[in-house]
Amino acid sequence: MASRKKQAPVPASTNPVSMADLARELGVSMTTISRALSDHHSIGPAMKQKVLKLAKKYNYQPNRLASALRKGKSQLIGIIVPYIEGRFFPSVVHGIETAASRAGYNVIICQSNEDVDQERRNLDILLSAQVAGILVSMSRTTLEADHFETVRGRGLPLVFFDRVPEGDNVNAVVLDDQEGGYVSTRHLLSQGARRIAHLAGPQHLNIYKNRLQGYRQALHEAGMAPDEQLIVHTDMSQEQGAAAMRQLLALPAPPDAVFAAGDYSALGAMQEARRQGRRVPQDVSISGFSNEAFTLITEPTLTTVDQRCEEMGQAAVRLLLDVIEAGTAPFTPRQVALRPELLVRGSSVRAAKAEPAAAHLS
């Protein structure tokens, strides 16, 4: 549409200049060039300057393929995630890319689309690409972790994050979900709640099991017997959150607080509570999990738990680099559990500092 500027007549495909070209031009050997460029010790400062100047002049770019082939190791880190969408994985990937590039690595990313076979193929591809290490968050359909053994067999550094296999013989970075459930519940207690319900997630997934566990632990420590009626299992959707709330409010003794294992179910619950004329947080306090973007714009804003996505990515890279640097030296698999951060917002803070309320304990 706009002005046709001076357009190159033909995209005169310039060949990249190689070390051999520089060597020829300077009348020295390739070895010298290589040494100058890689800042080797046995090289004269004068020679080095000459080489660097010429390299700059011709805008020399090292061929990383050749280098990696020769050295047997690339500067690439492979990532396998179920998908790149929503809030969680993109943020983790963001953290990974940032930490990796700071350390001089680049990142090649694959999606498994929650499919084990795709995950297997991704592994093969990354092995073929001679990556220096692999970061994986397993697909939902990955029941056995045997395909990761071939990676191990190659002696290739491997670190799992978030969706990790059980056991302590793998490197893994996870969020401490139990702690998340624990601090959330303790917070609700501190606000004066005495009948705290829990909207649980699918219990075959560790994260939800652990959040429930933390909830139980907090109640136990507070000397409260858990009321199984107050634990409702959902698929974590907004709809089922609302349904669960309906069910809870219909109880003879309805809860005065709800800890949901996810933000969407928390949202559904909050909307349902208000629909039924309950005030949030005065009549019923609510807290969620994941720090979804929308939790800041609900009215009231939603108390939630931040999952430290970026930190998880960075921690995974750090661990991977440790393994890489260990080289062939024996490395004992390490597990890292990140401490979640409770974000206290409007949906759970009752006006009066609620300590005295402990009097009317159930």
Partner DNA sequence: TTGTAGGCGTTATCAA
Partner DNA sequence: TTGATAACGCCTACAA
User: Closest separation between CB of residue 151 and DNA, Å?
Assistant: 17
Distances (CA, A) of 3 to 6, 7, 61: 9, 11, 33
- Could you give the CA distance from residue 143 to residue 139 in angstroms, rounded to a whole number? 9
Is 51 in contact with 30 (CB distance < 8 Å)?
A: no
Site map 106..145 versus DNA, x via CB under 7 A: ----------------------------------------
User: Closest separation between CB of residue 119 and DNA, Å?
Assistant: 23
Residue 31 found at the interface with DNA (CB under 7 A): yes
Q: Residue 231 binds what, of a copy of itself, DNA, none (CB under 5 to 8 Å, by partner type)?
A: none
User: Closest separation between CB of residue 36 and DNA, Å?
Assistant: 8
Residue 38 found at the interface with DNA (CB under 7 A): yes
List 4, 6, 41, 360, residue binding DNA (CB under 7 A): 41
CA angle at 253 for the pair 250 and 254, rounded to the nearest 5°: 55
User: Closest separation between CB of residue 223 and a copy of itself, Å?
Assistant: 27
Q: Residue 127 binds what, of DNA, a copy of itself, none (CB under 5 to 8 Å, by partner type)?
A: a copy of itself
- Could you give the CA distance from residue 266 to residue 245 in angstroms, rounded to a whole number? 9
Q: Name the residue with tokens 């190659």.
A: 154
Residue 30 found at the interface with DNA (CB under 7 A): yes
User: Closest separation between CB of residue 192 and a copy of itself, Å?
Assistant: 28
Q: Name the residue with tokens 């995209």.
A: 11
Is 255 in contact with 196 (CB distance < 8 Å)?
A: yes
- Could you give the CA distance from residue 293 to residue 235 in angstroms, rounded to a whole number? 20
What's the one-letter identity of residue 13? S
DSSP of 150-170, one letter per residue? HHHHTT--EEEESS--SSSSS
User: Which residue number, 62 or 300, has a Cβ lying nearer to DNA?
Assistant: 62
Quickly count helices (H) and strands (E) in the chain. Answer: 12, 12
User: Which residue number, 52 or 127, has a Cβ lying nearer to a copy of itself?
Assistant: 127
- Could you give the CA distance from residue 11 to residue 33 in angstroms, rounded to a whole number? 30
Q: Which of residues 48-87 bind DNA (CB under 7 A)?
A: 62-63, 66-67, 69-72
- Could you give the CA distance from residue 136 to residue 170 in angstroms, rounded to a whole number? 11
Q: Residue 41 binds what, of DNA, a copy of itself, none (CB under 5 to 8 Å, by partner type)?
A: DNA
In the beta sheet, which residues pair with residue 338?
Answer: 175
User: Closest separation between CB of residue 300 and a copy of itself, Å?
Assistant: 13
Q: Residue 91 binds what, of a copy of itself, DNA, none (CB under 5 to 8 Å, by partner type)?
A: a copy of itself
Q: Residue 28 binds what, of a copy of itself, DNA, none (CB under 5 to 8 Å, by partner type)?
A: DNA
Stretches 35-43, 203-211, 326-334, 339-347: which one binds DNA (CB under 7 A)? 35-43
